[in-house]
Amino acid sequence: MDSHGEATNDPAVSWRAVVEIVQALALAVVISVVLNLFVVQVTEVRQRSMELTLEQDDRVLVSKLDYLFGQPNAGDIVVFDPPGPGSTIPFVKRVIAVGGDTIDLRDGDVFVNGNRVEIPQARGRTLPQVGTVAFPFLVPEGQVFVLGDNRQLSSDSRSFGPVPVRNIVGKVVMCFWPATRIVFFDW
C-alpha cells in the first residue's frame, strides 16, 4: 500500500533483490573454488599412519601456498597424491628427507646424512619394508622421502619410494576436527 491507501505492485524491487542474492552466491562460489584450487583445502585423514599426531577421520587444513614459494622441509606434514595407479585417497605423511639427502634405517632408527633423526611424535621402530628401496638411499632431487609417524602401520616411502614434489598438494597447517583435537602446527 502506498501513502494514499492504494495497493502497489513493484516487481522490479523483488527481482532486483533476487538478482543481487544470485550474484552474491555466484561470487561466493567463485571465491570458494579459487581458494580451494590455489590457497587452502580441507582434507580428511583416511589412514592410521600418522597416529597419534593425526587420527583417522581427523579433518585438516592444507596450505597450498607454502610450496608455491618454497620447497618442502624435513619435518613438514604433507598431503600428496598417492604414487602409482589404483588409489585416489590422498596420503598424509611426514617429510623425513629431501632431494640430495641420504637416508638410512639401522636397528629401527632413522638416519639422514649420517645423523640420527628424532621425531618425538613417531612411535614404533622404523624398519625397512618390502619394496623398491634399498638402504642407504639417496633421495633424488625434486623428490622427498616420507614416513608415517605410526611407523608399524604406515605404507610410506619405505615401500613405494620417494614422492615427487609435484605430487604434493600442500602442507598440513591445522587439525580442526574433531573440535576436541584442534591443533595448529607451528612450522
Q: How far apart, in whole angstroms, are the C-alpha atoms of residue 131 and residue 65? A: 32
Catalytic site residue from 63, 64, 93, 154? 93
Give the pLDDT mean for 67-73: 84
Residue 72, pLDDT > 60, answer yes
Q: What is the average pLDDT score of the chain?
A: 79
Residue 10, pLDDT > 60, answer no
Q: Mind listing the pLDDT tens digit for each residue in 18-28? A: 777 777 777 77
Give the pLDDT mean for 35-42: 65
171 is catalytic: no
CATH number, span 42-184: 2.10.109.10
Domain ranges of the chain: 7-38, 42-184
Residue 171, pLDDT > 90, answer no
Looking at per-residue confidence, does 79 or 9 come out higher?
79
Residue 87, pLDDT > 90, answer no
Looking at per-residue confidence, does 136 or 67 come out higher?
136
The one-character DSSP state at 108 is T
Q: Mind listing the pLDDT tens digit for each residue in 104-135? A: 988 888 899 989 998 888 888 777 777 778 78
Catalytic site residue from 49, 63, 154, 157? 49
**What share of the chain has pLDDT > 70, as a percent?**
81
Q: How confident is the model at residue 184 (pLDDT cuts 50, 70, 90)?
A: low
pLDDT of res. 146: 92
Decide: 128 and 158 in contact? Cβ < 8 Å. Answer: yes
Q: How far apart, in whole angstroms, are the C-alpha atoms of residue 153 and residue 156? A: 9
Q: Mind listing the pLDDT tens digit for each residue in 127-169? A: 777 777 878 989 999 999 999 888 888 888 888 889 999 888 8
3 is catalytic: no
Task: Please name every residue paired with 103 in a beta bridge, in sequence order, or none if there are none.
Answer: 112, 137
pLDDT of res. 9: 58
Grid cell, residue 179, equals 573440535
pLDDT of res. 143: 92
Grid cell, residue 38, equals 590455489
pLDDT of res. 27: 74
Grid cell, residue 34, equals 579459487
pTM comes to: 0.74
